[in-house]
Structure 1
Amino acid sequence: MINPIIATKLYIPALRSNVVLRPRLIERLNEGLHRKLTVIAASAGFGKTTLASGWIRSCGRTACWLSLDEGDDDPVAFMIYLHAALMAAAPNFSDGMRKLLQAPQPPPIEALVRVLLNEIASITHPFIIVFDDFHEIENKSIHQAVTLLIEHLPPQMHLVIVARELQHLPLARLRVRDQLTEVRAADLRFTISEATEFFEQVMGLSLTTEHVAMLEDRTEGWIAGMQLAGLSMQGHADAGSFIRSFTGSHSFVLDYLVEEVLQKQPAGIQAFLLSTSMLDRFCGPLCDAVLRLGNGEKETNPGANSEANPEANGQTTLEYLERANLFIVPLDNERRWYRYHHLFGNFLRQRLAQKQQVNLSVEAAGEGVNELHQRASKWYEQHGFVLEAFHHAAAAQDIEGAAKLLEGEGMSLIFRGMVIPALKWLNSLPERELGARPSLLVLHASAMLMTGQISGVEQKLLAAEQLLQADAFQDVNTRDLIGHTASIRATLAVSKHQPDMILAQSRRALDYLHPDNHPVRTATTWTLGYAHQLQGDYGAAGRAYAEALANSERIGHVIISFMAAIGLASIQEAENLLDTAAGTYRHALKLAGEPPLPAAGVAYLGLARIYYQRNDLNAAEQYAKIALPLSQQLEHTDRAVEVEVFLARLLLAKGDVSGAAARLAKADHTARQHQHVLQMPSIAAVQVQVLLRQGNSAAAARLAAKNELAISGAKCELAQGNSAAALAILELRREYVEAKGQPYDRLEVSVAQAVAWHEHGDRAKAAAMLTEALVFAEPGGYVRVFADEGLPIRKLLREIVARGAGSSYRDQVLAACEAEEQIGKQSQEGNLGQEGKDRTKPRPIQASEPLIEPLTGRELEVLQLIEQGLSNRQISERLFLALSSVKGHNRNIFDKLQVKRRTEAVARARELGLF
């Protein structure tokens, strides 16, 4: 569930009918449309927003707008509003990312941006998007995400950033590439002619050129200063005298003029301005609620002059303020929602806080600041704006109210994309307040976990448990909190791949959690399934996934449904139920939307494996190639490596041994670089196959032993003529998988045993073992598990079919094995050198050894520069390395690639696909 968005944040600000046109700046902005980025940056009050809104209304392109504030300084909230803003550019814009944002723990913002970039590609017409008040964003991850967006910006999209300052975007690099248009304070300052037009058309003042020049000089072209000066001069008969006495810095000018403006307003208007200043944006009914207008509890006279009706409500007062030009900005065309000019609003809030600090009654507002915030919080809560309600409750120091809103009704705010605001508030609480509330401690731990602050989570949980242990009665709320702490610990154990800990904490969580706490219970059930799957208990894992799937679909949690469906399909696949698994994977893909969520790559890879086993290699390749870019969007996971390993296996099935080796080299390098240790055995298993195809059984055996690969080790023993040793290994492996109840693993062992008995000379046992495997495999339609084994399986199948024990399924398997024989011959010929084409076995390729010891990241950099023709000295200058270090890297590269010179290194690297 996502908190309702505020639609007015997406509206292009309306222009006044008498706005000063600035053709010199409009022309500059139009000229920059061919670049990626336009930046309009200057201090407050320079007319940045007015210029941007005026330009995009006249430039002829589709445009969308996003007004940012402090509440958007959260990655998920920022992406929610960015996605909503883009809907203005394309009404049929895909909604695939929304499902990601609904997850209990959405993906990193960089992954979300990559999804968004793919969705933007569907927009065919050119358009502009404006980020207004971008200086409100301080979160480094958002800055990095926007940098990523700029770097990969589609050509049809132009980004405009309006801000007071920009310190975290790569502007220097964009300048060098001529991808940046900048409008700064010096450009925004009013010229004499623009200032003259402003005073005449906007402020209704007839000033001499001399007076305008004096004001332009005193304010340095600062538009807000001129507006404030114009408002003050409206009550002066001698404009010249006022201008001559007008001096000071921007800060002094602001203080002086706002005092002049505010003090000249009726008491009721002053009360209204001060009391509503703590609202970021407001409408008439909200102002009524804050001031308690219209219900008889309070009488507030909004003004005593002819334009301010004493009986006016919030809406009519807002309309009066707009007509009076009192720094109020309409946010929609219907004039329902407004905000104060930032400087004016800041000033009003400072005055309100000053009165509160000195313990004076707030003369104008008549209320304490906290009470005003509480009323605003109540109104927002009643109208479904939970985040705004929480914000004002926190500002009111209403810990109970803020805690209640944070906990939510059935789902906490931290599960609705509001982790950062919640965490900021929790971090701000005094230790005595936080430490006295176990529910807040648990939520604090949960928020820290979701933002990756793992180190402090256990401390919060222990503090909460100490308080909960003191509750002798352990009511339902206490038990639910205990369950939540266990669920958090289970998630911590998931990150460390500790199945025993995950299992224990998940069970404890489900025992204690309240039956109605569906979000946490559903997530914990899924975690329970993950633990069972890590342990190889497929039955228990399947039941847990099925339960999580049913519960999540019932409560409408699409992401959890999607994850549970993928988990369930993987169990069905492991149990040889390929038709059922394919159906479940396809169901998951329906939940993934269009374009699909990045995690859909897991489902596509599952379908690829199924089609591979049924020997439809083209379909398998198509699904895998869809899976790869999706999986690459999943930051900090090993999913992309898993796809690369599958593609290497597919290349091997097609006879492309060198291509498979190259793909494995890259997968191995990535896995080591990012410490994806769980993928190392699967990489090693396919590397063993490659080495055996290359005739290097010794290296294959070492690799199998190093990674404790039983079946791979048995194949290596067979390759070295040790059939008895192979049979012993496989018998132990069979006992293990039968005890674990792992059907596919048992099938794989049976096929390997058939080959081993054949090589051992016992053809009867080999035929019996193969017949058993065929019976076991036929319901699932497996083919590749046999075809990948080569000549011994072909011979045994021919004998079985010749004895009349054939079937359409066995004929299909035999046909695939016969085709595999042809592929094997072609591969063998490709591995023979010019001097060895008369040999019957492929020669060993010594350069395959580096697959076990890949190049480091720095060595790859050096190798790429060698490929570009740079000398050692040029490489040292380019990489800021000592010349001796470059030479040392060269030696390592040559050793790993087993070459002696640069040209050979480049050729070998190309063969391995390292460039």
Structure 2
Amino acid sequence: MEILNSKFQPPQLPAILHRERLFRKVSAISGKALITVTAGAGYGKTTLARDAVSRLDIKTVWIRLDPRDTDLMVFMACLESGIRRAFTGLDDHHQKSSPEQSILKHNPRLVLKFLRTLEKTVQKETVMVLDDYHLVQENKTINEALELMLLHLPAHMHLILISRREPPIRLSRLRSMNRLIEISEADLSFTFPEIKDFFSKIFNLPVTDDHILELHEKTGGWAASLVLFRYALKGKTQGEIETCLLGFKGSHRFIFSYLEENIFETQPLETREFMMKAGLLSVIDPEFCNRVFQITNAGIILGRMMEDHLLIFPANENQTLFIFHHLLKDYLAEKLSLEYPVPELNALHQRIAQEIEPDDIFEALFHYIEGRDYDDAIRVIETHELKFLLEGKIHFLGKCLEKIPGTVVENNPKLLFAQAKLFSYYGSPREAVLKLQTAYSLFKKTQSNEDMVKCLVDIGAQYYGSGYVKEAKLLMEQVLSEVNPSSATYIVAMTYLIFLAAVLGEFDASEKYTREAGEVIAEYPDFERCVALALINTSYAYKLYISGDFEKSRALNEKLLKTVLDLKAESVLPLIYYQCSATSAALGRFETGYDYGKKGIEICEKINLRDSKKGWVHIAVSQNCMGLGRFEEAIDHLNAGIEIFEMPCNRWGLANARHCLHQVLVEQKKPDQAKELLLNSLDIIDGYDVIITEGILENSLAALLIQEKNPEEAMDCLNRSRH
């Protein structure tokens, strides 16, 4: 995932007032883990932090967060990238994919990996500034990651958190340890002496003490209103200043009118038109503006705005990219919506999206949706589905879909299908099925048979994710005759059928489906054939494993692993790592199996996978942990797997996880608890026809009954396991 350099550029400040009372608070950072700077828009949070760290003799890593960082893996990648750039001058994240959330209760490795990077890389006093944290704090896992990080930060490493809202993280421990500095909205409000210095020393404006007192009363010391009032006073006489003061109100609702009168309307028409359009961009590139806005002088206009200090700031060291102050952006967005008819505004968003799509599909998707071009939005989602997954932008994709009116989504089967994919990735197959059923009904109205079949196959996949293995197989079999053999849907259906038949103990059927798929795939073009074979053989390797042919399964999985890594088909890797790990455990190669399993969990986190496949990887890791005598670690992985299986109520997965947990209890000399787990597991899969799992559970129960000297019941269990 490539991360732009501008993300790590501290803001370049104009002439500012050095606020000594606040600087003293920040300068006490030594020995502190965290400084929070929390206030509403326009209180000078970023200005204070930038001024303070520039005056301290301390290494600074500045990270400007944005809404696309709301996925945990993206967030952590930004932090690590910022550290590497600051201390090594290098950053390898542009060569790697880096996505979202893990359940930190069981998987703190992302944070621990970052902390190890800090230990190796950061050897001197350093502060990391996370600007605009409010844009990402709605994600609970990011807050949890930050809490864990703060508990283990090296003593010479400090964080400054800048946010418009109180960060939802637990700070009581840091407070009790005196490792926290809190700067609030009240702290940031300008005092009478600061307002006086601001106007007299910085801007050399003739404002009397009475004027200052009145300003202080009217503004409450709100920095934004003071800055804007300064623009209003430019070139004014004493009498005119008093007139301005009479009409001045410093509250937020008057800011836009001041921007209108003192900044926007003072510009020529050409600049006003440019400002409104450029306000739509997250970063303003003059060449990009020339192309999209069909002008030739964007650079000149931006240069004049910089000279006039019109709330514009450089976004990089070379001053070739720019950003507007957020208050100006908000004003310009409202102004644009008033000045431009909706069709013209939509067309502008669409031009931006078309121009930016080759370089940034995420920004393009945002503008397609803002421009109500839902067809192109759907195209981007469909075309780059895997890219959203691999780069950890699942949460971002969800937020984009939320912006599409519900009536549009509910009447667009392709958007419903995309929503179903999101639910599936997040481990909520039941919600996914509801979306797919609605999508199917809409496709049926338009007689879109190929899409109808695609929905049914995906519904079957969700049945499996919920533990309804038999139902999933039946549905796949019913639609198979309607699937075009040359389509990707055919390969998906056959991949599932080979796998599901094996799970149900129907090994002959699994073999038959494998042969049929192989005959069809033989006619595919080279690349498509290679990908299709990898998918089919992944399921066939599971059939070999579950039928007890561990050595053949191991050999096929290791061959598949190399193929899939060469193809960069990372979405297939979790199952392959699971099978490599599970077969290694069956063969007694526990260290190898453990390593495979850990890689499987890492890839699940990387591609943001939280469905049952991740649960199975945890089970495989636990099996190898038991072989290595690491029973506590095995329990941690089993609990993580159980949590994943419980969300969709995947009974088959839960039964297997609890069977492994019973093995730990046996080793810990707790036979009664182990027996209770087995009985519970048999109960929850009763009637689900997963005979292999039933047989494994019955055999294990028989072993415990023999230990209890209860041979008759043990024999009953063994007899049941044969059926």
Separation (CA, whole Å) in 1 of partners of 2:469 and 2:585: 21
Residue in structure 2 matched with residue 320 of structure 1 by the alignment:
304
Separation (CA, whole Å) in 2 of partners of 1:110 and 1:521: 36
Residue in structure 2 matched with residue 15 of structure 1 by the alignment:
13
Residue in structure 1 matched with residue 275 of structure 2 by the alignment:
273
- Aligned pair partner of 2:454 in 463, 483, 495: 483
Is 2:371 the counterpart of 1:400?
no
| Preserved contact between residue 100 and residue 559 of structure 1 (Cα < 8 Å) | no
User: 1:120/1:585 Cα in 2 relative to 1: closer, same or farther (>3 Å)?
Assistant: closer
Residue in structure 2 matched with residue 251 of structure 1 by the alignment:
252
Deviation at 1:284, TM superposition (A): 1.0
| Preserved contact between residue 45 and residue 223 of structure 1 (Cα < 8 Å) | yes
User: Runs of 5+ in structure 2 lacking a partner?
Assistant: 512-537, 543-555, 607-613, 683-696
- Aligned pair partner of 2:338 in 332, 348, 354: 354
| Preserved contact between residue 111 and residue 635 of structure 1 (Cα < 8 Å) | no
Is 2:545 the counterpart of 1:543?
no
Deviation at 1:252, TM superposition (A): 5.0
- Aligned pair partner of 2:60 in 38, 56, 63: 63
User: 1:225/1:508 Cα in 2 relative to 1: closer, same or farther (>3 Å)?
Assistant: farther
User: 1:77/1:594 Cα in 2 relative to 1: closer, same or farther (>3 Å)?
Assistant: closer
Residue in structure 2 matched with residue 376 of structure 1 by the alignment:
352
Residue in structure 1 matched with residue 467 of structure 2 by the alignment:
497
Output the amino acid matched with 2:502. Answer: H
Separation (CA, whole Å) in 2 of partners of 1:316 and 1:131: 32
Separation (CA, whole Å) in 2 of partners of 1:52 and 1:121: 26
1:760-783 deviations in Å (ceiling 9; x for gaps): xxxxxxxxxxxxxxxxxxxxxxxx
SS of the counterpart of 1:335? coil
Separation (CA, whole Å) in 2 of partners of 1:322 and 1:500: 67
What TM-score do the two structures reach when normalised by structure 1? Answer: 0.61
Residue in structure 1 matched with residue 116 of structure 2 by the alignment:
121
User: 1:421/1:629 Cα in 2 relative to 1: closer, same or farther (>3 Å)?
Assistant: same
Separation (CA, whole Å) in 2 of partners of 1:317 and 1:701: 77
Residue in structure 1 matched with residue 242 of structure 2 by the alignment:
241
| Preserved contact between residue 574 and residue 603 of structure 2 (Cα < 8 Å) | no
| Preserved contact between residue 64 and residue 130 of structure 2 (Cα < 8 Å) | yes
Is 2:335 the counterpart of 1:333?
no
Output the amino acid matched with 1:314. Answer: A
| Preserved contact between residue 522 and residue 552 of structure 1 (Cα < 8 Å) | no
User: Runs of 5+ in structure 1 lacking a partner?
Assistant: 295-312, 360-366, 613-619, 640-670, 737-915
| Preserved contact between residue 380 and residue 386 of structure 1 (Cα < 8 Å) | yes
Is 2:28 the counterpart of 1:31?
yes
Separation (CA, whole Å) in 2 of partners of 1:205 and 1:372: 41
1:361-403 deviations in Å (ceiling 9; x for gaps): xxxxxx9221221121122113x21111010111111111211
1:813-853 deviations in Å (ceiling 9; x for gaps): xxxxxxxxxxxxxxxxxxxxxxxxxxxxxxxxxxxxxxxxx
Separation (CA, whole Å) in 2 of partners of 1:729 and 1:21: 83
Bigger Cα Rg? 1
Is 2:424 the counterpart of 1:423?
no
Aligned residues with identical type, % of pairs: 20
SS of the counterpart of 2:129? strand
Deviation at 1:735, TM superposition (A): 5.2
Deviation at 1:222, TM superposition (A): 2.4
| Preserved contact between residue 73 and residue 137 of structure 1 (Cα < 8 Å) | yes
User: 1:194/1:522 Cα in 2 relative to 1: closer, same or farther (>3 Å)?
Assistant: farther
Residue in structure 2 matched with residue 45 of structure 1 by the alignment:
42
User: 1:241/1:408 Cα in 2 relative to 1: closer, same or farther (>3 Å)?
Assistant: same
Separation (CA, whole Å) in 1 of partners of 2:48 and 2:219: 19
Output the amino acid matched with 1:403. Answer: I
With a CA cutoff of 8 Å and minimum separation of 6, indicate the structure with the bigger relative contact order: 2
Deviation at 1:232, TM superposition (A): 1.8
Deviation at 1:102, TM superposition (A): 4.9
| Preserved contact between residue 74 and residue 139 of structure 1 (Cα < 8 Å) | no
Separation (CA, whole Å) in 1 of partners of 2:417 and 2:362: 20
Deviation at 1:454, TM superposition (A): 4.6
| Preserved contact between residue 72 and residue 78 of structure 1 (Cα < 8 Å) | yes
Output the amino acid matched with 1:461. Answer: L
1:548-606 deviations in Å (ceiling 9; x for gaps): 746632431346325413214424654xx556x87676566677779998998666555
1:105-134 deviations in Å (ceiling 9; x for gaps): x64476665522343134223533222222
Aligned residues: 646
Output the amino acid matched with 1:199. Answer: F
Residue in structure 2 matched with residue 461 of structure 1 by the alignment:
436
User: 1:682/1:569 Cα in 2 relative to 1: closer, same or farther (>3 Å)?
Assistant: closer
Output the amino acid matched with 1:123. Answer: L
Separation (CA, whole Å) in 2 of partners of 1:569 and 1:510: 31
Deviation at 1:327, TM superposition (A): 0.6
| Preserved contact between residue 35 and residue 179 of structure 1 (Cα < 8 Å) | yes
Deviation at 1:241, TM superposition (A): 3.2
| Preserved contact between residue 430 and residue 462 of structure 2 (Cα < 8 Å) | no
Mapping of residues 107-146 of structure 1, within 5 Å: 107-108=102-103, 114-124=109-119, 125=123, 126-137=125-136, 139-142=138-141, 144-145=143-144
Residue in structure 2 matched with residue 758 of structure 1 by the alignment:
none
| Preserved contact between residue 115 and residue 149 of structure 2 (Cα < 8 Å) | no
| Preserved contact between residue 714 and residue 730 of structure 1 (Cα < 8 Å) | yes
Deviation at 1:199, TM superposition (A): 3.3
User: 1:94/1:237 Cα in 2 relative to 1: closer, same or farther (>3 Å)?
Assistant: closer
Residue in structure 2 matched with residue 182 of structure 1 by the alignment:
182
1:720-751 deviations in Å (ceiling 9; x for gaps): 7777x599569747956xxxxxxxxxxxxxxx
Output the amino acid matched with 2:50. Answer: S
User: 1:30/1:718 Cα in 2 relative to 1: closer, same or farther (>3 Å)?
Assistant: same
Output the amino acid matched with 1:483. Answer: K
Separation (CA, whole Å) in 2 of partners of 1:77 and 1:516: 33
| Preserved contact between residue 66 and residue 85 of structure 1 (Cα < 8 Å) | yes
Deviation at 1:683, TM superposition (A): 4.2
Separation (CA, whole Å) in 1 of partners of 2:387 and 2:317: 34
Residue in structure 1 matched with residue 266 of structure 2 by the alignment:
264
Is 2:561 the counterpart of 1:560?
no
| Preserved contact between residue 311 and residue 328 of structure 2 (Cα < 8 Å) | yes
Mapping of residues 820-859 of structure 1, within 5 Å: none
Separation (CA, whole Å) in 2 of partners of 1:685 and 1:182: 50
What TM-score do the two structures reach when normalised by structure 2? Answer: 0.75
Deviation at 1:49, TM superposition (A): 0.3
| Preserved contact between residue 552 and residue 560 of structure 1 (Cα < 8 Å) | yes
Output the amino acid matched with 2:110. Answer: V
